Amino acid sequence: MEARLDFGLVLRETRALEYRPVETATEDARLVTAARGGDRAAFGELYRRHARTIHGVMLAHVPFSEADDLVHDVFLVALRKLDSLREPAAFGGWLITIARNRVNDFYRRPRATKELPEETGGAAPDEGEARRALEAIRALPEAYRETLVLRLVEGMTGPEIAARTGLTPASVRVNLHRGMKQLREKLSGKQDAGPGKEPLR
């Protein structure tokens, strides 16, 4: 998965979110039930429906170069533990919990190597800029980080973010608005005027 950050969204005021129907948890429940019965295509469809969300969660927390591998790890864990999911309709939230636990594991394990600097290897200017923006996003409060990455990198709408993360649409709007404001300040080199407020969840 290749991250592409929409800088137009970063530099403009947050627009009113477009509300449109999103896929329901009922479909997830049907797919989970089928996957438990050995239907590999059903699990493939669960992957298709949720991979962008998990990729966004990873990009909000770990180095860019690690995100794809960790997304695959999350789905392998989910496949192995699928029978332990009590409520099939809660698959999305359960998967995000696995992803966040995987992030914690990532930072607990010893790592022999470090991520190469962005300038190494003649990276394209746009790629270096996108990585710097991701670093700026990772410096924001956690709720803002995930919401912004899902919106700006993964291209999800507000309703999709709400449906996938369990946040209310109002919390998504607030987190995007506040997160975008802080991100613009960081990217323009401004310092925060004071201690940040606790993000809404």
Q: How far apart are the first and last CA of the chain?
A: 27
| pTM given for the model | 0.69
In whole angstroms, give the CA distance from residue 137 to residue 124: 20
Between the alpha carbon of residue 131 and those of residues 31, 100, 117, the distances in Å are: 35, 21, 10
Quote the tokens at residue 149: 């990455």
Quote the tokens at residue 161: 């973010």
Write out pLDDT tens, residues 7-54: 444 434 334 344 334 457 789 999 999 999 999 999 999 999 999 999
Domains in the chain, CATH or no CATH each: 22-111 (1.10.1740.10), 123-201 (1.10.10.10)
Q: Which long-range contacts (CB under 8 A, 24 or more apart) does 182-187 make?
A: 182/140, 182/144, 183/10, 183/133, 183/136, 183/137, 183/140, 183/144, 183/148, 184/10, 184/11, 186/136, 186/139, 186/140, 187/10, 187/133, 187/136
Lowest-confidence pick of 87-91, 94-98, 113-117? 113-117
> HEC profile for 96-118?
HHHHHHHHHHHHHCCCCCCCCCC
Residue 1 pLDDT > 80: no
Residue 71 pLDDT > 80: yes
Quote the tokens at residue 200: 């809404």
What is the pLDDT, as a whole number, of residue 190?
Answer: 59
SS3 state of residue 168:
coil
Written as one letter, the residue type at 164 is R
What is the pLDDT, as a whole number, of residue 187?
Answer: 82
